[in-house]
Chain A
């Protein structure tokens, strides 16, 4: 298959990496059990940098090849949304069955460390793809499209991912 996967990987990281020092937190260590209270405690350390505004969030798996995006979404209230994600993920219900299988082992322990990045729309000054829009929705779709081709089979988003 002909894919500009490396170029897409570069665009993705050029956009994401500058936000990591101030907008990201590790929510789960490799081998640790998923617990809602523990993850929410870590997310609370983002609170000053995670206002209740329309934001994009990216969940990364920390792998030997670096940070690999595994889920990309947007929410008016990212911390509230992540509370819902955690409930679904813990139950493994519906689409979250895929989250459990991909991110946790049979004992419910994290296969890799996981980091969450939350970027408020007000922080977005440039698009991931040159010449594209910078609205939250448009940036989310650019990131999903780039990550789906840059890391085939890794993204847990149902839409925008090749089969």
Chain B
């Protein structure tokens, strides 16, 4: 079977960085936001730099279609994917998605890893700290919280969580070896990960 780990390492321009800002005991640092002073998990500065770099360089290149990302444990040849996703250049309604515009200051969306609700960091923080919001924490992020964190107070990771990212351009080839779109590559990755990392993958479709 096609080896997904080997493919991850073969993608031009890929990088692995720590996802969260943690101390030596794997406690994730938080920030207080809004009038209700909600606790929000902090992204690492390396992760923020990787995303800003990928998006800014990408938007300057017409052939760039978006950013592939994978949250996981381990790194390089021992990487174990937990969640596979993408931030596409095009939005549903706009030529450039609002998820990636003004990326340096767009902390609420931040290429889908923003602090706001309906974005990964905001939803995960909601699941961990259970702050008041217009809806309850979703089942998806309650699952993320229980898988990633050993305790919620203080928020302590079971294991360091890493963030793989890679730019996706026209002509890039997915794990199938065929050139294709970023959404098609994402589907190929999840199809493989659903079997090769069956016990840890948090994507709920395609498995």
Query: How far is B117's CA from A159's CA once the two chains are assembled, in angstroms?
Result: 20
Query: How far is B138's CA from A78's CA once the two chains are assembled, in angstroms?
Result: 27
What's the least CB distance linking B190 to chain A, in Å?
5
- What's the interface size class on B, roughly? 20 to 34
Among residues of A, the one whose C-beta sits closest to the C-beta of B89 is A163
- What's the interface size class on A, roughly? 20 to 34
- B178 lies within 8 A of A8 (CB): yes
Known: A132-B2, A141-B205. A161 touches B183 (CB 8 A): yes
Query: A4 touches which one: B90, B180, B183, B186 (CB < 8 A)?
Result: B180
Contacts of B182 in A (CB 8 A): 162
Query: B207 touches which one: A7, A132, A137, A149 (CB < 8 A)?
Result: A137
- B183 lies within 8 A of A142 (CB): no
Known: A137-B207, A149-B180. A132 touches B192 (CB 8 A): yes
What's the least CB distance linking B80 to chain A, in Å?
17
Contacts of B206 in A (CB 8 A): 137-138, 140-141
If A129-B176, A141-B205, A145-B184 are given as contacts, then 9 extra A-B residue pairs at C-beta distance below 8 Å, sorted by A number, are A2-B171, A3-B170, A3-B180, A131-B1, A131-B176, A132-B1, A133-B191, A138-B207, A149-B184
Which of B's residues lie within 8 Å of A, judged by CB? Answer: 1-2, 88, 90-92, 170-171, 174, 176, 178-188, 190-192, 194-195, 205-207
Which of A's residues lie within 8 Å of B, judged by CB? Answer: 1-4, 7-8, 129, 131-133, 135, 137-142, 144-146, 148-149, 159-163
25 pairs from A and B in contact (CB 8 Å cutoff): A1-B170, A2-B170, A2-B171, A2-B179, A4-B178, A4-B179, A8-B180, A129-B188, A129-B191, A135-B207, A137-B194, A137-B205, A138-B207, A142-B188, A142-B191, A145-B176, A145-B180, A145-B184, A145-B191, A148-B181, A149-B180, A161-B183, A162-B181, A162-B182, A163-B91
